[in-house]
Amino acid sequence: MEILAFGVQSDEKPLIEKAFAGHHDVRCTNVFLNEDTAPIAAGHEIISSSVNATLNSRVLQTLAAGGTQMIAQRSTGFNNIDLPVAERLGLTVARVSYYSPYSVAEFAWTLAMTVNRRIVRASNRTRDFDFRLDGLMGRDLRGRTVGVLGTGKIGEAFTRIAHGFGMRLLGWDVTENPACVALGMTYVTKEELLAEADLVSLHVPLLPTTQHLIGADALRMMKDDAILVNSSRGGLVDTEALVGELRAGRFAGVGLDVYEAEAGLFFLDKSLEVVEDDTLARLVTFPNVVVTSHQAYYTVDAVGQIIDTTVRNVLDYRAGRRSENVLVPAVARS
């Protein structure tokens, strides 16, 4: 049986092929799963999707009609999958519930330090042999306040790094993480956190209750010279509202590894095309903003864990086993 893996990056392909060797044949394609590409899956019982796949009702119906019975998503997030429709169609859906939290936490800090110390501007200048320091002044983070929205595994890893910097730690979550409390974190309301933090970092999942968690009101609560980092999900931030605040000259820096309208853009080469997304086009023009293409998870360690878990999810499905990774229960196998 051949498994079809959508949205495979060139760095991932040898890792996926090696991981599935001895278990199943796997065919990798770099095209992303959406309404236009779903017919490619015809005849494949199992397909693997990437984080930017579109698995809405139409796509799921096309997959089911073509004989697909199992979807193994290579990500933790699953807001791109219409789970009720998948269940109605009898599809098994699994995800990767855990991978290295350090990959994302360390990258979030990379973004924070990049905008704080004006690294992109400095690098661009020195390429032109311009070694002036004008406009490159940053701030020490020691003694300043960091606000961590979401203190799960990634938020905890981010907090440990903040503790190493010697920062005052504020947290917000539905439940307190004892490990973060042990580091000296104080849990406060979202409003208090936004008002007091010099650096705000987002580490919550995208749910209906967290959509635009950082909207116009939340942005106005933040300090004018605060730093905002989002390495979680683009929909957590109201990008148009953020652009409005940036145009008003607010924020010392913004680091975004995700964008709410990234589907159809991120992971693709659009350099020779006219990008019609005016909000994104405006966002990347601000000198205090750094946008990267959803790469926080992209380390050998994390991607290796994601692929290994995906293989286990497929083997569990074939054996009729269930695990914590299953989002839609497997159909009883005859």
Whole-number Å distance between alpha carbons of 89 and 155 = 36
Q: Is the pLDDT reported for residue 334 higher than 90?
A: no
Question: Of residues 168, 250, 262, 312, which has the active-site annotation?
Answer: 262
**Is residue 262 annotated as part of the catalytic site, yes or no?**
yes
Per-residue DSSP letters for 268-306?
S--TTS----HHHHHHTT-TTEEE--S-TT-SHHHHHHH
Q: What would the pLDDT profile of 192-209 be if each residue is shown by its tens digit?
A: 999 999 999 999 999 999
Q: Please give the model's pTM, rounded to 2 decimal places.
A: 0.90
Q: What angle do CA 291, 293, 296 make, to 5 degrees?
A: 95
HSE (CB half, 13 Å, CA atoms) of 151?
27
**Is residue 233 annotated as part of the catalytic site, yes or no?**
yes
Q: What would the pLDDT profile of 92-118 be if each residue is shown by its tens digit?
A: 999 999 899 999 999 999 999 999 999
Whole-number Å distance between alpha carbons of 71 and 69 = 7
- What is the mean predicted confidence (pLDDT) over 47-75? 96
Long-range residue pairs from 209-216, CB within 8 A, at least 24 positions apart, any chain: 210/235, 210/236, 211/235, 211/236, 212/236, 212/237, 212/238, 212/241, 213/149, 213/237, 214/238, 214/242, 215/241, 216/241, 216/244
Pick the range with the lowest mean pLDDT from 9-18, 130-139, 242-251, 261-270.
261-270
What letters, b where the CB count within 10 A reaches 16 and e where it falls short, cover 213-244?
A: bbeeebbebbbeebbbbbbbbbbbbbbebbbe
Question: Of residues 44, 95, 168, 294, which has the active-site annotation?
Answer: 294
Q: Is the pLDDT reported for residue 251 higher than 90?
A: yes
Q: What is the mean pLDDT of the chain?
A: 95
Q: What is the 3-state secondary structure (H, E, C) of 84-96?
A: HHHHHCCCEEECC
Which residue blocks in the chain are alpha helix, DSSP H?
13-20, 57-65, 83-88, 101-116, 119-127, 153-165, 178-182, 190-196, 216-221, 239-247, 278-283, 300-319
Question: Of residues 95, 233, 250, 312, which has the active-site annotation?
Answer: 233
The packing angle between helices 153-165 and 101-116, to 10°, is 40
Q: Is the pLDDT reported for residue 330 higher than 80?
A: no
Answer for the pair 50, 7: CB distance below 8 angstroms, yes or no: yes
Residue 264 contacts by C-beta under 8 Å, 6 or more apart in sequence? 34
- What is the mean predicted confidence (pLDDT) over 61-73? 97
